[in-house]
Chain A
Amino acid sequence: MLGSKHYWEGFRAGAPFLLVVIPFGMLFGVVGTEAGLDLAQVMGFSVLVIAGAAQFTAVQLMTEQAPVIVVLASALAVNLRMAMYSAAMAPHLGTRPIWQKALAAYFMVDQTFAVSSQRFEATPPLTSGQKFSFFMGSVSPVCLPWYGATWFGAVVGTRIPPEFALDFAIPITFLALIGPALRTPAHVAAAATAVICALFFASLPFSLGTIVAASVAILVGARVELWQTRRTEA
């Protein structure tokens, strides 16, 4: 698997995200340490949870003295999208052995999902084994540096000056994933719906606005696709 053509294809697809994974991982190390976590706890988050947005949510709420149950519910709500990713990957990786599915599940993050689902829908089609190789290829430059960057941020620990605008690393990464994904009018309609609904429902508690907006957007995307197919068939 390692060293195969498809592993390296995945590796190349994931490599650009090094540029954002490293600063973002460092930022979590710095923020976690400043919030009062020790090195083991900061690393515990990045290794056991391995989900940046949820990690920041949890640390933020813990510093606000939120009850543990609220911390967990909010961070898990931020991660609800992972269940959607999991469902979207089932047709591609569902036939792999359990250990491979577990490994793919553990490494299912926005970037690995985005580049993999994009490749799996494209031509030439891949076998499920080749898809797993591609996925693990995309994992290598995205997830593994996450650990090192977190550790570095926690140890170096000096405050990164706000002029570096690291807060915007996440929006820029995600926007860079969204642009190439806007392949059809249905994708554009879904993305536009997501933006409008997310702003409209932003005041809902526990990040529920994100989940509501994403659900509406997915319905709209599927509906537009259906209209288009019918129109071309008619």
Chain B
Amino acid sequence: MIDLSSPTIWLVIILLGVGTLGLRYSFLGLIGDRELPEWVLRHLRYTGVGVLPALIAPLVIWPEATDGALDPARLTAAAATLAVGIWSKNALLSIICGGAVLFGMLALSW
């Protein structure tokens, strides 16, 4: 349970909100329409494929739900989602296939 007073919780919410908006607005607001050098753009092209895998790799290998133990169901579902995404280029289809594999594997293990 959270032990903080209500004003402290609101302080966390508001500072986190302001800080997050600041991060989101930072470059968009500061750079505006000035042309960015090619080497900057070259790095920016890889933000998505750099950040998203870094965020989820530990969650896939060490899921919280199993207290960090490698889980065949989650691992297979992750591989299926990625494979369908690469093959079909379709995010929705990937999510549906990944979910189906996850629930299928979990059902098998009950």
Contacts and interface: CB of A to CB of B under 8 A. Distances in A.
A27 interface: no
Contacts, number: 302
B96 to A, nearest CB: 8
29 contacts: A41-B13, A50-B20, A62-B12, A76-B16, A76-B20, A81-B51, A87-B36, A87-B40, A87-B44, A89-B28, A102-B29, A105-B24, A163-B106, A167-B63, A170-B59, A171-B78, A172-B99, A174-B56, A178-B49, A178-B85, A179-B87, A181-B49, A193-B50, A195-B54, A198-B54, A202-B58, A218-B47, A221-B45, A221-B46
Interface of A: 15-17, 19-20, 35-38, 41, 44-45, 48-51, 53-54, 58-59, 62-63, 65, 68, 71-72, 75-76, 79-91, 93-95, 98, 101-102, 104-106, 108, 110, 113-115, 117, 121, 162-163, 165, 167-168, 170-182, 186-187, 190-195, 197-199, 202, 209-211, 213-215, 217-222, 225-226
Contact of A45 (B13, B53, B56): B13
A197 B54 CA distance: 7
Interface string B4-15: 101011111111
B17 to A, nearest CB: 3
A50 B95 CA distance: 22
Tell me the interface secondary structure of chain B in the complex. Answer: helix
A117 B48 contact: yes
Given A48-B13, A82-B20, A172-B95, A53 B55 contact: yes
Contacts of B8: 68
A41 B86 CA distance: 39
A179 B41 contact: no
Contacts of A221: 43, 45-46, 49-50
Given A90-B32, A177-B85, A210-B55, 20 more contacts: A16-B92, A37-B2, A49-B17, A50-B20, A62-B12, A81-B47, A88-B44, A89-B27, A94-B28, A165-B73, A168-B59, A168-B65, A172-B98, A179-B91, A194-B57, A195-B57, A202-B58, A214-B50, A217-B54, A226-B42
Interface string B88-110: 11111011101100110010000
